Amino acid sequence: MRSFTYHVETVQAWLALSRLHIIIHLIAVVSLCYYRISHLLLQPPTAPWILITLAEIILSMLCFFNQAFRWHPVSRTTLTHKLPREDHLPGLDIFVCTLDPEKEPTLQVMDTVVSSIAMDYPSDKLAVYLSDDGGCPVTLYAIREASEFARDWVPFCRKYGVKLRCPKVFFSPMGQDEHLRDEEFKAQCHLMKTKYEKMQKNIEKFGSDPENLRIVSDRAPRIEIINDQRGLPLVVYVSRERRPTLPHKFKGGALNTLLRVSGFLSNAPYFLVVDCDMFCNDPTSAKQAMCFFLDPHTSKTTAFVQFPQMFHNLSKKDIYDSQTRTAFKTMWQGMDGLRGPGLSGSGNYLSRSALLFGSPNQKNDYLLDAQKYFGNSAGFIESLKVIRGQKTAKTNISREDRLREALAVSTCSYENNTKWGREASGILICDLTRE
Ligand SMILES: O=c1ccn([C@@H]2O[C@H](COP(=O)(O)OP(=O)(O)O[C@H]3O[C@H](CO)[C@@H](O)[C@H](O)[C@H]3O)[C@@H](O)[C@H]2O)c(=O)[nH]1
Ligand SMILES: [Mn+2]
């Protein structure tokens, strides 16, 4: 067990047994190889023999590489109570991406948005951005409704320390345990449920007109600040420019736009990416992530913190491990003990600086020739300098000016002739599996 300032790293208890298991496997695989090679020298191989040998080589390689996941698995416990006071915590932006209200029901997307707004993190340090890649009227209408509902939901969650902050889950049988409290709480719950149902009804009514569900695939960018009142996080709606003839790079392109737009409005040093159907299941996850980013021992080497994805409502007879427990429980703990887990695309907290500039040992070259890497928006480059600690943020820019500049970096052509995606912000550029 290794103790850091804000987290503890525990190596799997059965490590010796696990390694013995690896060694026994290895001996079996090596013996098999020996048998095949020695047999090859004794008599000429037949076709079936060659096929079986090939199959064995492939399986042995798979087995060999899989052992790495069992070599040094670690699990981590965070000590959120040791973190600095709330007013000393860094800013956090949450990016939610959605595209098609027919495939990604708007009500479900709003549950994700509300669970993000209700994150257990200081409101003035938190901003939630919804990227509407479909440019659908219903999504804009719904986020206004969701933000209105959050005005009541967030104080309710804070007052009663609600753990399941996705309203749909809270009011479902999964949230039953949370309801076992006094009469006052039950009355408040009832009130919240009425407000939640009203929000749902309004959105459903608006979405019942097919015109409002239509994806607008040829459109100018649109950015709207949905909430900037104190006491609640900043909530922003972003629909980047999309033209049928120009490449949009799917989710990667949407995230790149959010990364730039948020540079003008909140410019938090850390951001969380969530797919629209993946609500924030644990409101303390933001503070838990900060335990790694702020820890003096790990802060310089931590680029991202990945939370496991969890799935519910699967078939009881699921024989294909659709919950992906193998990946998130076994393999990722194994990778964590070696060089760190992979990035799964959702539920990951990233350091803006690590993503845009690489490791802290990397030189600041990118900023010397900033336009070549990050495009020609002077305001965005200023925001990067703030992230690198070279400047302090300007506070005298009007909201209109910020929005105007944010619109300019949301166009299809902004990344043209820059190194976005090739050298700068590489991992967010392409999500080729999507359509
Ligand atoms: O042009 C696009 C296409 C997709 N999306 C959004 O991207 C997310 C992921 O797309 P989805 O079609 O739901 O992909 P999945 O296979 O469900 O997602 C998994 O696989 C993707 C990589 O292939 C990752 O990006 C995701 O994070 C991961 O959860 C969703 O929120 C979409 O709304 C956009 O914003 N714009
Ligand atoms: Mn999905």
Q: Is residue 172 part of a domain?
A: no
pLDDT at 363 over 70: no
What's the angle, vertex CA 415, arms to CA 260 and CA 96, rounded to 5? 40
Q: Is 209 annotated as a binding residue?
A: no
- pLDDT tens digits for 139-177? 999 999 999 999 999 999 999 999 999 999 999 999 989
Per DSSP, 420 falls in state B
Is the pLDDT at 313 greater than 90? The verdict is no
Tokens of 315: 């078939």
Instruction: Supply the residue whose CA is at minimum distance from atom 24 of ligand 1.
Output: 345
SS3 127: strand
Ligand 2 centroid from CA 214, angstroms: 20
State yes or no: pLDDT of 127 exceeds 80.
yes
Asked if residue 104 belongs to a known ligand binding site, the reply is yes
Q: Which amino acid is at 368?
A: L
Residue 181 maps to a domain: no
Partnered with residue 224 across adjacent β-strands are: 237
Amino acid letter for position 362: Q
Whether residue 434 is contained in a domain is answered as no
Question: Residue 316: which pLDDT band, with cuts at 50, 70 and 90?
Answer: confident
Q: Which atom of ligand 1 is nearest to the CA of 346?
A: 27
- Complex ipTM value: 0.95
Does the pLDDT value for residue 99 go beyond 60?
yes
Q: Is residue 57 part of a domain?
A: yes
Q: Where are the alpha helices (DSSP H) in 161-269?
A: 167-170, 183-207, 210-213, 250-265
What is the CA(104)–ligand 2 centre distance, in A? 8
Q: Which amino acid is at 127?
A: A
Q: What is the pairing mode between strands 348-351 and 270-275?
A: antiparallel
CB-based burial, 352-383: b 16+ in 10 Å, e otherwise:
bbbbbbbeeeeeeebbeebeebbbebebbbbb
- Atom 11, ligand 1: which residue's CA is nearest? 434
Q: How many angstroms separate the alpha carbon of residue 156 from the centre of ligand 2? A: 30
Residue nearest to atom 17 of ligand 1 (CA): 275
Query: Does residue 108 contact residue 83 with C-beta atoms inside 8 Å?
Result: no
Q: What does the alpha-carbon distance between residue 408 and residue 401 come to, in Å, rounded to a whole number? A: 11
> Is residue 51 assigned to a domain?
yes
Residue nearest ligand 1's atom 26 by CA: 345
Provide the CB-side half-sphere exposure for 21 (13 A, CA): 12
Q: Which of 431, 432, 433 to mutate to test the pocket of ligand 1 (most atoms within 8 A of CB)?
A: 431
- What pLDDT, in 10s, does the model give residues 255-301? 999 999 999 999 999 999 999 999 999 999 999 999 999 999 999 89
For helices 378-387 and 399-408, angle between their N-to-C axes, nearest 10 degrees:
100
Q: In angstroms, what is the span from residue 345 Cα to ligand 1's centroid?
A: 8
* Vertex 257: Cα angle to 410 and 230 (nearest 5): 95
User: Both tokens of residue 365?
Assistant: 């070259």
Whether residue 130 lies inside any domain: the answer is no
Side-chain half-sphere CA neighbours of 236 within 13 A: 29
Q: What is the pLDDT of residues 26-69, one digit of tens each?
A: 999 999 889 888 888 888 888 998 899 899 999 999 888 888 89
CA of 31 to the centre of ligand 1 (A): 45
- Ligand 1 pocket test: pick from 103, 113, 251, 348 the residue with the most ligand atoms within 8 Å of its Cβ: 251
Q: Is residue 258 in a domain?
A: no
Taking alpha carbons only, the member of 74, 69, 68 closest to residue 2 is: 74
Q: How far apart are CA 44 and CA 386, in angstroms?
A: 70
Number of domains in the chain: 1
Tell me the residue type at 422: R
Looking at residue 174, what DSSP letter applies? G
Helices (H), strands (E): how many in the chain?
17, 10
Quote the domain boundaries for residue 72.
2-78
* Ligand nearest the Cα atom of residue 104: 1
| Ligand 1 atom nearest residue 98's Cα | 33
Q: Cα 252–257–263 angle (5° rounding)? A: 130
Reported as half-sphere exposure (CB side, CA atoms, 13 A), residue 425 has a value of: 24
Q: Which of 235, 245, 246, 238 has the alpha carbon at shortest distance from 221?
A: 238
pLDDT in tens, 188-227: 999 999 999 999 999 999 999 999 999 999 999 999 999 9
The Å distance, Cα 277 to ligand 2 centre, comes to 6
201 part of a folded domain? no
Task: Tell me how many degrees the CA angle 23-26-32 measures, rounded to the nearest 5.
Answer: 145
Q: What is the CB < 6 Å shell around ligand 1? A: 97-99, 104, 131, 133, 250-251, 254, 275-276, 345-346, 431, 433-434
pLDDT tens track for 106-124: 999 999 999 999 999 999 9
